[in-house]
Amino acid sequence: MPNFTLKANAQAARAGELHTGHGTVKTPFLMPVATKGSVKLLSNEEVESTGTQCLISNAFILSMKPGLYVIEKHKGLHNFMEWKRPLFTDSGGFQVLSKEFCLGLSDEGVRFRNPFTGKSSVFSPEHSIEIQNRLGSDVAMCLDDVPHAGEGAERVRDAVKRTIEWAKRCKEAHSNKKQMLFGIAQGGINKELREECTKKIIELGFDGVALGGLSIGETKGKMFDAIGSSIGIIPQDKPRYLMGVGSLEEMLKAISLGVDCFDSCFATRTARHGRAFTSKGNINIDSAVHRLDLSPLDEGCGCFVCKKYSRSYIHHLFRTKEENAGKYLTYHNIFFVQNVLAKARKQIVEGTFRD
Amino acid sequence: MPNFTLKANAQAARAGELHTGHGTVKTPFLMPVATKGSVKLLSNEEVESTGTQCLISNAFILSMKPGLYVIEKHKGLHNFMEWKRPLFTDSGGFQVLSKEFCLGLSDEGVRFRNPFTGKSSVFSPEHSIEIQNRLGSDVAMCLDDVPHAGEGAERVRDAVKRTIEWAKRCKEAHSNKKQMLFGIAQGGINKELREECTKKIIELGFDGVALGGLSIGETKGKMFDAIGSSIGIIPQDKPRYLMGVGSLEEMLKAISLGVDCFDSCFATRTARHGRAFTSKGNINIDSAVHRLDLSPLDEGCGCFVCKKYSRSYIHHLFRTKEENAGKYLTYHNIFFVQNVLAKARKQIVEGTFRD
């Protein structure tokens, strides 16, 4: 059986199935982030009941803490975190290159400082893949070179070149036959570079193709131009993963362009800051307008938070710094988004999907 | 039907039923605290599944934030916090007398500073009861005068006198016929004062009698002496509530002396500090000994945390400051305690209960 089965098209939008060692994921889908092996404020039981099919953890972060040895003692990341559904790991390219960790970048890899041990080490494509092989996630991601937003054309060109070289080395290093490996295309918002990088990544023959280095500060228009200029090149039988995009509006637009997969901390982080998704746009639960509002976060939402709690109550919890405010908002936001995506999948299959 | 039915004795230990407008509570029982209308880090669904029969909220705290008006808009505290089982409210005597709030104490009441408005007001017995009447909890508590640990005999004597006067005024002010009212006996660790106060409280004819002002710094021996010197005076048909005691060892000892009801933040607060209850004593999940420990928090525990997660995983979450560490420990601790109390109830009924 192929890893990915395309089931239906509605213009460029696609509905399909990604088959993993831990079950099938219906596409398009969103992965909430469990960076350190846990979705913040929710138990896995709760995450499952939001309709979440798949999570993504961070190989780089987990390799520092708790360390590979601890996770291998549990016979892999699924067992360690007790998540039995499909699971991606991100290589950690984006994190290791951040100011928090990065000491220097070369073709060999990224020299970084481990904040727990104080030691400096090189994080190479081989290192990243070995970690992910051993974590045993269902889908591993290549280590890529991600330029920061606004960096010049030369840096973006270098990053594309390095990303392609690293992708080759990742493919060579990859040895876990139960695990898929996705390549990542860079190129910033430069159409030619993105097209070139996407083609090279496709040629290398990965199980899926990710669009990386977007949604990091560029305008939405430029982001969608970059997606549009490269997504059409990707063969129909490969899943397409737009990294780091998780707002509903952007996901629906990206789905209409042919994207199948998303990961984002948007629904969860924004919840901890008091924002709730609703069918009439986002609301800020901290606002005094909710003090006496007996209505649920969203009238049409079927989640347990909306079935039970008033905006007034959640406003009170938020104002009095009770963590349950963030918890209820997190649950609602993930449930709300997963519900919209489930509808989108249905509409694509029925041919009624419109951006 | 009487509010309280005694079902069985095993020496001084008692098993009974407290009948409230929101159902029956089997005694002896522990109320986790939902001071601001929410048990920290757990949804009500989770709290219910720990075997918790009843919660306690704080009338004084809730009257400041969100304010009575907001809760009345929801038609009472049960609806506001969406807790459909029995619910106590504490008057807030202990809190209003703390350094955080108290500006002065007189026979009229406690002058306190509202930290949200900056205003100073008097919190009187009548005020406390009016708030609790309007919150609509199943059991209201009298406002009492609680001396701090180590205060001299004269202050304790004054507090006893004032507590009795305030209890009379509370009883007079109480007007919610669907709500029980419990009196509170003070007297510190002074046997005569405690006996005197308990007798006066009993004479006033409340629905239950609480032992207050204990477990605030005195030795355990002196605390149990104080309980022993007053509990025998309370008629068998009245429920006896030992306030602020929640460690397993102390609860079991108190049950053997005839206590029926407890409230405590011990199980939840200690969880947030990384402590887990086990059948072999408490463990500190922060300790490096748990780094590679694949066993559950407690081998014999049937809670979902123990069924799924390893100590190693929870240790990792605690060390990386994921709130889910506190959440899982909170769930386990409450479940563990409620399970021990359920066994104690069964043993009392079967006549096999031993301290």
Q: What is the pLDDT of residue A256?
A: 97
Name the CATH topology of B4-264. Answer: TIM Barrel (3.20.20)
Chain B interface test: which of A320, A328, A330 (most B C-beta within 10 Å): A320
Phi, psi dihedral angles at A210 (to 5 degrees): -105, 145
Chain A residues whose beta carbon lies within 8 Å of the beta carbon of residue B327: 41, 43
Burial A100-114 (b: 16+ CB within 10 A, else e): ebeeebeeebbbbee
Confidence label for A319 from pLDDT (cuts 50, 70 and 90): very high
pTM of the model: 0.97
Q: What is the pLDDT of residue A220?
A: 94
Count of residues making up chain A? 355
Q: Which residues of A are catalytic?
A: 90, 263
> Starting from the edge strand earliest in sequence, which strands make up the sheet with B13-20, in order?
B4-10, B13-20, B23-27
Q: Determine the residue of chain A that is closest to B294 in CA distance.
A: A74
Q: What is the pLDDT of residue B355?
A: 74
Q: From start to end of A94-230, where are the E strands?
A: 102-105, 110-113, 120-123, 139-141, 180-185, 208-211
Question: Domain residues of chain B, as ranges?
Answer: 4-264, 277-355
Judged by CB atoms closer than 8 Å, whether chains meet at B42 and A324 is answered as: yes
Give the rounded percent of residues in chain B with a pLDDT score beyond 90: 93
Q: Determine the residue of chain A that is closest to B42 in CA distance.
A: A324
CA distance A125 to B101: 58
Tell me which residue in B70, B322, B328 faces A291 most closely, judged by beta carbons: B70
ipTM: 0.97
Q: How far apart are the CA of A101 and the nearest CA of chain B, in angstroms?
A: 16
Segment A323-339, tens digit of pLDDT: 999 999 999 999 999 99
Residues 6+ apart with CB under 8 A from B290: B283, B311, B312, B314, B315
Q: What is the pLDDT of residue B1?
A: 74
Q: Determine the residue of chain A that is closest to B329 in CA distance.
A: A43
**Would you call B263 a catalytic residue per the annotation?**
yes
Q: What is the pLDDT of residue B264?
A: 93
> How many interchain CB pairs under 8 A, A with B?
103
Query: Is residue A271 pLDDT above 80, yes or no?
Result: yes
Query: Is residue B354 pLDDT above 90, yes or no?
Result: no
Query: Is residue A307 pLDDT above 80, yes or no?
Result: yes
Judged by CB atoms closer than 8 Å, whether chains meet at B294 and A36 is answered as: no
Which of helix, strand or coil describes residue A264? strand
Judged by CB atoms closer than 8 Å, whether chains meet at B316 and A44 is answered as: no
Q: Element (H or E) spanning B140, and its range?
A: strand B139-141
Count of residues making up chain B? 355
Segment A17-76, tens digit of pLDDT: 999 999 999 999 999 999 999 999 999 999 999 999 999 999 999 999 999 999 999 999
Q: What is the pLDDT of residue A2?
A: 85
Q: Which of A51, A30, A13, A52 is nearest to A350 (CA)?
A: A13
Residues 6+ apart with CB under 8 A from B66: A291, A312, A315, A316, A319, B80
Q: Which of B266, B320, B319 is nearest to B290 (CA)?
A: B319
Interface subset of A 262-321, CB within 8 angstroms of B: 291-292, 294, 304, 308-310, 312-313, 315-317, 319-320
Q: How open is the CA angle A240-A241-A242, to the nearest 5 degrees?
A: 125
Are residues A132 and A93 in contact, defined by beta-carbon separation less than 8 angstroms?
A: no
Q: What is the pLDDT of residue B94?
A: 87
Query: Is residue B214 pLDDT above 90, yes or no?
Result: yes
Chain B residues whose beta carbon lies within 8 Å of the beta carbon of residue A294: 73-74
- Give the tokens for residue B267: 């199980």
Judged by CB atoms closer than 8 Å, whether chains meet at B65 and A316 is answered as: yes
Segment A88-135, tens digit of pLDDT: 999 988 899 898 999 999 999 999 999 999 999 999 999 999 999 999
Chain B interface test: which of A61, A64, A316 (most B C-beta within 10 Å): A316
Q: What is the pLDDT of residue B176?
A: 97
Chain A interface test: which of B70, B269, B289 (most A C-beta within 10 Å): B70
- Give the tokens for residue B291: 């780094």
